[in-house]
Amino acid sequence: QLDPENTGFIGVETFASLVHSHELPLDPAKLDMLVALAQGNDEGQVCYQELVDLISSKRSSSFKRAIANGQRALPRDVLLDETGLGIYKRFVRYVAYEILPCEMDRRWYFYQHRTCPPPVFMAAVTLTQIIVFLCYGARLNKWVLQTYHPEYMKSPLVYHPGHRARAWRFLTYMFMHVGLEQLGFNALLQLMIGVPLEMVHGILRISFLYLAGVLAGSLTVSITDMRAPLVGGSGGVYALCSAHLANVVMVSPGTR
Protein backbone atom coordinates (compact mmCIF):
# COMPACT_ATOMS: atom_id res chain seq x y z
CA GLN A 1 0.00 0.00 0.00
CA LEU A 2 2.78 2.43 0.84
CA ASP A 3 4.86 1.49 -2.20
CA PRO A 4 2.43 0.37 -4.94
CA GLU A 5 5.11 0.47 -7.65
CA ASN A 6 7.54 -1.66 -5.63
CA THR A 7 10.38 0.85 -5.95
CA GLY A 8 11.73 0.16 -2.48
CA PHE A 9 11.34 3.80 -1.45
CA ILE A 10 8.70 5.77 0.45
CA GLY A 11 8.40 9.48 1.10
CA VAL A 12 9.79 11.08 4.23
CA GLU A 13 6.33 12.32 5.25
CA THR A 14 4.92 8.80 4.99
CA PHE A 15 7.76 7.42 7.06
CA ALA A 16 7.26 10.12 9.70
CA SER A 17 3.52 9.39 9.91
CA LEU A 18 4.26 5.69 10.43
CA VAL A 19 6.62 6.51 13.28
CA HIS A 20 4.02 8.73 14.95
CA SER A 21 1.14 6.30 14.39
CA HIS A 22 3.09 3.55 16.16
CA GLU A 23 4.03 5.99 18.95
CA LEU A 24 7.75 5.30 18.81
CA PRO A 25 9.57 7.28 21.56
CA LEU A 26 11.64 9.43 19.21
CA ASP A 27 11.78 13.21 19.33
CA PRO A 28 11.79 15.18 16.04
CA ALA A 29 15.57 15.61 16.09
CA LYS A 30 16.09 11.85 16.39
CA LEU A 31 13.58 11.30 13.59
CA ASP A 32 15.55 13.65 11.37
CA MET A 33 18.74 11.73 12.11
CA LEU A 34 17.12 8.38 11.32
CA VAL A 35 15.80 9.76 8.05
CA ALA A 36 19.26 11.11 7.18
CA LEU A 37 20.85 7.75 7.96
CA ALA A 38 18.27 5.81 5.93
CA GLN A 39 18.33 8.20 3.00
CA GLY A 40 18.37 6.19 -0.19
CA ASN A 41 18.59 8.86 -2.89
CA ASP A 42 18.73 12.60 -3.48
CA GLU A 43 14.94 13.02 -3.74
CA GLY A 44 14.17 12.92 -0.04
CA GLN A 45 12.91 9.33 0.09
CA VAL A 46 13.62 6.56 2.58
CA CYS A 47 15.00 3.26 1.32
CA TYR A 48 13.14 0.25 2.72
CA GLN A 49 16.15 -2.09 2.66
CA GLU A 50 18.39 0.37 4.47
CA LEU A 51 15.68 0.91 7.08
CA VAL A 52 15.42 -2.86 7.59
CA ASP A 53 19.20 -3.06 7.96
CA LEU A 54 19.07 -0.40 10.67
CA ILE A 55 16.36 -2.13 12.67
CA SER A 56 17.89 -5.59 12.23
CA SER A 57 21.27 -6.81 13.41
CA LYS A 58 22.94 -4.76 10.67
CA ARG A 59 22.20 -1.50 12.45
CA SER A 60 25.19 0.78 12.79
CA SER A 61 26.85 1.81 16.03
CA SER A 62 25.58 5.35 15.44
CA PHE A 63 22.00 4.06 15.26
CA LYS A 64 22.52 2.13 18.49
CA ARG A 65 23.82 5.27 20.19
CA ALA A 66 20.80 7.25 19.01
CA ILE A 67 18.38 4.67 20.43
CA ALA A 68 20.37 4.16 23.64
CA ASN A 69 20.24 7.86 24.47
CA GLY A 70 16.45 7.72 24.60
CA GLN A 71 14.75 11.07 24.89
CA ARG A 72 17.87 13.22 24.82
CA ALA A 73 17.01 16.09 22.49
CA LEU A 74 19.47 17.47 19.96
CA PRO A 75 18.99 20.87 18.28
CA ARG A 76 18.03 20.32 14.67
CA ASP A 77 19.73 23.24 12.95
CA VAL A 78 22.93 23.79 14.90
CA LEU A 79 25.22 22.24 12.28
CA LEU A 80 23.64 24.30 9.53
CA ASP A 81 23.94 27.61 11.35
CA GLU A 82 27.28 28.97 12.55
CA THR A 83 25.69 31.84 14.50
CA GLY A 84 26.99 31.92 18.05
CA LEU A 85 29.70 29.31 17.47
CA GLY A 86 33.24 30.08 18.54
CA ILE A 87 36.28 29.53 16.34
CA TYR A 88 37.04 26.09 17.78
CA LYS A 89 33.42 24.92 17.50
CA ARG A 90 33.36 26.06 13.89
CA PHE A 91 36.48 24.01 13.29
CA VAL A 92 34.82 20.98 14.93
CA ARG A 93 31.82 21.54 12.66
CA TYR A 94 34.14 21.68 9.64
CA VAL A 95 35.83 18.43 10.72
CA ALA A 96 32.46 16.72 11.15
CA TYR A 97 31.35 17.58 7.61
CA GLU A 98 34.79 16.89 6.11
CA ILE A 99 35.38 13.47 7.69
CA LEU A 100 32.02 11.89 8.55
CA PRO A 101 29.66 10.75 5.75
CA CYS A 102 26.49 10.46 7.83
CA GLU A 103 24.43 13.37 9.13
CA MET A 104 23.64 11.58 12.37
CA ASP A 105 27.30 10.80 13.01
CA ARG A 106 28.12 14.45 12.38
CA ARG A 107 25.61 15.59 14.98
CA TRP A 108 26.76 13.11 17.59
CA TYR A 109 30.40 13.96 16.98
CA PHE A 110 29.68 17.68 17.26
CA TYR A 111 27.94 17.28 20.63
CA GLN A 112 30.16 14.59 22.12
CA HIS A 113 33.50 16.03 21.03
CA ARG A 114 35.80 16.97 23.88
CA THR A 115 39.06 18.91 23.77
CA CYS A 116 40.73 16.32 26.02
CA PRO A 117 42.66 14.46 24.84
CA PRO A 118 43.71 16.89 22.10
CA PRO A 119 45.06 15.70 18.71
CA VAL A 120 48.69 15.78 19.84
CA PHE A 121 50.28 13.05 17.70
CA MET A 122 50.39 14.84 14.34
CA ALA A 123 51.30 18.13 16.01
CA ALA A 124 54.13 16.46 17.95
CA VAL A 125 55.50 14.70 14.85
CA THR A 126 55.41 17.92 12.82
CA LEU A 127 57.06 19.94 15.59
CA THR A 128 59.81 17.33 16.00
CA GLN A 129 60.47 17.34 12.25
CA ILE A 130 60.83 21.12 12.27
CA ILE A 131 63.19 21.07 15.27
CA VAL A 132 65.38 18.34 13.74
CA PHE A 133 65.54 20.22 10.43
CA LEU A 134 66.52 23.47 12.15
CA CYS A 135 69.21 21.72 14.20
CA TYR A 136 70.81 20.09 11.17
CA GLY A 137 70.42 23.26 9.11
CA ALA A 138 72.27 25.30 11.73
CA ARG A 139 74.90 22.61 12.22
CA LEU A 140 75.60 22.10 8.51
CA ASN A 141 74.86 25.69 7.49
CA LYS A 142 72.79 24.26 4.67
CA TRP A 143 69.00 24.61 4.25
CA VAL A 144 68.46 23.13 0.78
CA LEU A 145 69.46 19.65 -0.43
CA GLN A 146 70.98 18.74 2.92
CA THR A 147 71.49 15.14 1.77
CA TYR A 148 74.44 16.30 -0.37
CA HIS A 149 76.39 17.23 2.74
CA PRO A 150 78.68 14.34 3.82
CA GLU A 151 77.93 14.88 7.52
CA TYR A 152 74.18 14.62 6.90
CA MET A 153 74.37 10.99 5.84
CA LYS A 154 76.19 10.11 9.07
CA SER A 155 73.08 10.92 11.08
CA PRO A 156 71.72 7.97 13.12
CA LEU A 157 68.22 8.89 11.90
CA VAL A 158 68.69 8.51 8.13
CA TYR A 159 67.59 5.20 6.63
CA HIS A 160 69.80 3.34 4.18
CA PRO A 161 69.31 -0.28 3.09
CA GLY A 162 72.91 -0.93 4.06
CA HIS A 163 72.06 0.00 7.66
CA ARG A 164 68.84 -1.98 7.94
CA ALA A 165 70.28 -3.98 10.84
CA ARG A 166 69.71 -0.81 12.89
CA ALA A 167 65.98 -1.31 13.13
CA TRP A 168 65.12 2.14 14.48
CA ARG A 169 66.12 3.69 11.16
CA PHE A 170 63.06 2.12 9.50
CA LEU A 171 61.00 4.79 11.31
CA THR A 172 63.32 7.58 12.43
CA TYR A 173 64.07 8.72 8.89
CA MET A 174 60.67 10.45 8.97
CA PHE A 175 62.20 13.21 11.12
CA MET A 176 64.82 14.09 8.47
CA HIS A 177 64.08 16.16 5.34
CA VAL A 178 65.98 17.13 2.21
CA GLY A 179 65.11 20.81 2.39
CA LEU A 180 62.52 23.44 3.16
CA GLU A 181 60.28 22.43 0.26
CA GLN A 182 59.86 18.83 1.39
CA LEU A 183 59.47 19.80 5.04
CA GLY A 184 56.91 22.50 4.27
CA PHE A 185 54.85 20.24 2.01
CA ASN A 186 54.78 17.36 4.49
CA ALA A 187 54.09 19.59 7.49
CA LEU A 188 51.21 21.31 5.71
CA LEU A 189 49.51 18.05 4.76
CA GLN A 190 50.09 16.53 8.19
CA LEU A 191 48.33 19.45 9.85
CA MET A 192 45.57 19.93 7.28
CA ILE A 193 44.69 16.24 6.87
CA GLY A 194 46.23 14.45 9.84
CA VAL A 195 44.81 16.65 12.61
CA PRO A 196 41.14 16.37 11.47
CA LEU A 197 41.53 12.62 11.01
CA GLU A 198 43.05 12.31 14.48
CA MET A 199 40.22 14.36 16.00
CA VAL A 200 37.65 11.91 14.64
CA HIS A 201 39.44 8.55 14.69
CA GLY A 202 41.70 9.05 17.69
CA ILE A 203 45.42 9.02 18.32
CA LEU A 204 45.88 5.23 18.26
CA ARG A 205 44.41 4.67 14.81
CA ILE A 206 46.07 7.65 13.18
CA SER A 207 49.47 7.00 14.76
CA PHE A 208 49.31 3.39 13.57
CA LEU A 209 48.27 4.52 10.09
CA TYR A 210 51.03 7.12 9.85
CA LEU A 211 53.78 4.85 11.17
CA ALA A 212 52.61 2.03 8.90
CA GLY A 213 53.04 4.36 5.92
CA VAL A 214 56.53 5.34 7.10
CA LEU A 215 57.50 1.69 7.56
CA ALA A 216 56.10 0.79 4.14
CA GLY A 217 58.30 3.48 2.59
CA SER A 218 61.53 2.14 4.09
CA LEU A 219 60.63 -1.46 3.25
CA THR A 220 59.88 -0.49 -0.35
CA VAL A 221 63.25 1.23 -0.72
CA SER A 222 64.95 -1.84 0.74
CA ILE A 223 63.48 -3.91 -2.09
CA THR A 224 63.62 -1.52 -5.04
CA ASP A 225 66.90 0.37 -4.54
CA MET A 226 69.61 -0.97 -2.25
CA ARG A 227 71.81 2.11 -2.72
CA ALA A 228 69.37 4.94 -2.08
CA PRO A 229 69.16 6.72 1.31
CA LEU A 230 65.71 7.70 2.50
CA VAL A 231 64.57 10.77 4.43
CA GLY A 232 61.26 12.55 4.98
CA GLY A 233 57.81 11.69 6.29
CA SER A 234 56.28 11.29 2.84
CA GLY A 235 55.33 7.66 3.46
CA GLY A 236 53.18 8.65 6.41
CA VAL A 237 51.73 11.59 4.47
CA TYR A 238 50.71 9.27 1.62
CA ALA A 239 48.95 7.04 4.15
CA LEU A 240 47.05 10.04 5.53
CA CYS A 241 46.09 11.16 2.02
CA SER A 242 44.78 7.66 1.25
CA ALA A 243 42.64 7.70 4.39
CA HIS A 244 41.36 11.16 3.53
CA LEU A 245 40.53 10.03 -0.01
CA ALA A 246 38.35 7.29 1.45
CA ASN A 247 36.49 9.93 3.47
CA VAL A 248 36.06 12.11 0.37
CA VAL A 249 34.52 9.17 -1.51
CA MET A 250 32.12 8.38 1.35
CA VAL A 251 31.13 12.01 1.92
CA SER A 252 30.52 12.65 -1.80
CA PRO A 253 26.73 12.83 -2.46
CA GLY A 254 27.02 10.60 -5.51
CA THR A 255 28.43 7.70 -3.49
CA ARG A 256 26.04 7.62 -0.53
Could you please state the CATH topology (level 3) that the domain comprising 120-251 is classified under: Rhomboid-like fold (1.20.1540)
Q: Where are the domains of the chain?
A: 9-113, 120-251
Per-10-residue mean pLDDT of the chain, 256 residues long, equals 62 70 59 56 58 52 46 47 71 81 72 78 95 86 69 81 85 89 92 90 92 93 82 92 82 51
Residues 6+ apart with CB under 8 A from 12: 35, 44, 45, 46
Q: What confidence tens digit (pLDDT) does each residue in 192-228 have?
A: 999 999 988 889 999 999 999 999 999 998 888 777 7
DSSP per-residue string spanning 77-135: STTT--TT--HHHHHHHHHHHHH---HHHHHHHHHH--SSS--HHHHHHHHHHHHHHHH
Please state the pTM of the whole predicted model: 0.66
Please tell me the predicted confidence (pLDDT) of residue 22. 65
